[in-house]
């Protein structure tokens, strides 16, 4: 009976904040957030966190991109790679915040393309939830089943 009581107490002690903190300590999780934002959304699809395309290239830019063998059917925000390299994720309370250096030359990419260039759309959030489950299930099991 004591074992069952201890198990119930461990289950009761589970805390959402602890789970979020556990996720924040997994570099693979925070790296995945950045990959979803940069590669899966901006590069692959040219969409922001709202799922809407962030823009189109001018005819001249399309020509240049095509000649370089680069994506030209949507804006990728990957010219030099510096913008993508500047992405970071930090924990604020229970939220994961994505930040990046959005200043390119004399332009602010947020002003030009919108704040939605930083953040995850619904499709990316679904993938992130799966990743979180894969990390949290073993973590929660270890807390509950500790002897």
Per-residue pLDDT, 43: 98
Q: Work out the pLDDT band at 12, boundaries 50, 70, 90.
A: confident
Tell me what the pLDDT averaged over the chain comes to: 92
HSE of 40, CA atoms in CB hemisphere, 13 A: 19
pLDDT tens per residue across span 110-122: 999 999 999 999 9
Query: How many domains does the chain divide into?
Result: 1
Q: CB under 8 Å to 130, separation ≥6 — which residues?
A: none
Report whether pLDDT(2) > 90.
no
- In the block, which residue shows the tokens 């990419």? 109
pLDDT score of 147 more than 90: no
CA distances from 63 to 28, 123, 131 (A): 37, 31, 38
Which structural domain, as residue segments, surrounds residue 83? 2-144
Q: Are the C-beta atoms of 14 and 143 separated by less than 8 Å?
A: yes
Alpha helices in the chain (DSSP H): 2-12, 16-24, 27-35, 44-45, 59-67, 82-85, 109-113, 122-144
Interval 50-70: pLDDT, tens = 999 999 999 999 999 999 999
- In this model, does residue 81 exceed pLDDT 60? yes
Confidence at residue 15, expressed as pLDDT on a 0 to 100 scale? 86
Band of pLDDT at residue 16, cut at 50, 70 and 90: confident
């Amino acid at each position: 009976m004591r074992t069952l009581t201890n198990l119930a107490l461990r289950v009761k002690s589970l805390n959402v904040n602890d789970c979020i903190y556990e996720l924040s300590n997994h570099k693979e999780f925070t790296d995945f957030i950045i990959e979803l934002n940069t590669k899966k959304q901006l590069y692959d699809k040219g969409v922001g966190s709202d799922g809407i395309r962030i823009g189109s290239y001018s005819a001249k830019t399309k020509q240049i991109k095509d000649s370089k063998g680069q994506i030209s059917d949507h804006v990728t925000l990957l010219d030099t790679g510096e913008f993508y390299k500047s992405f970071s994720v930090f924990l604020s309370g229970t939220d994961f915040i994505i930040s990046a250096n959005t200043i390119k030359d004399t332009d602010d990419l947020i002003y030009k393309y919108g704040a939605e260039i930083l953040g995850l759309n619904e499709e990316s959030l679904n993938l992130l939830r799966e990743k979180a489950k894969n990390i949290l299930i073993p973590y929660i099991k270890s807390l509950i089943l500790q002897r």
